[in-house]
A and B are shown apart, each in its own frame.
Chain A
Amino acid sequence: DQQVKQNSPSLSVQEGRISILNCDYTNSMFDYFLWYKKYPAEGPTFLISISSIKDKNEDGRFTVFLNKSAKHLSLHIVPSQPGDSAVYFCAASDDYKLSFGAGTTVTVRA
């Protein structure tokens, strides 16, 4: 059963514009949410996270929004840069086990 879903497999955005990545989850026990970035042939690297007691967390160009009632979170990247081209995974946990979405491939066009 897919508890974390990223329904957009790909996203193309122009350099300087905003990238918005979406993620939905089904397990109401999840209390911590993370975004990872992954380049080809590398492991996922942590980007930003948010606890279920918050609805927004910001770190530089990256902001994560959490809507608990809708079981939805999003990642905003602004402005998008060429180095942001990668696969982005949404993950959720209620303890130590991370449940991942299938990923969204972001391509930033010059």
Chain B
Amino acid sequence: NAGVTQTPKFRILKIGQSMTLQCTQDMNHNYMYWYRQDPGMGLKLIYYSVGAGITDKGEVPNGYNVSRSTTEDFPLRLELAAPSQTSVYFCASTHIRSAIYFGEGSWLTVV
């Protein structure tokens, strides 16, 4: 079972570069999320989506953009990368009254 798949696993970016973190889920979940986790800390919600074509800001959306053209895919775009965006990023999805299922994480370093 694939579950939630996110790529890349590791990436080093230079300040000012842009990149897209890919996320896909094969569980037909309507709800998808992007979180970031700084070392030793909890997860902060960046953006979320309740269905294809619908996205909304989370707790820390600045510097990021998302799109949800299909139920399966929820890419996260970083524009003009900054050192403050160095973090571990988790994509997740869930269904009604269900657990949140997470991808394996993407380690991003901005130098």
Bound together = no
Residue ranges of B at the interface with A (Cβ–Cβ < 8 Å) = none
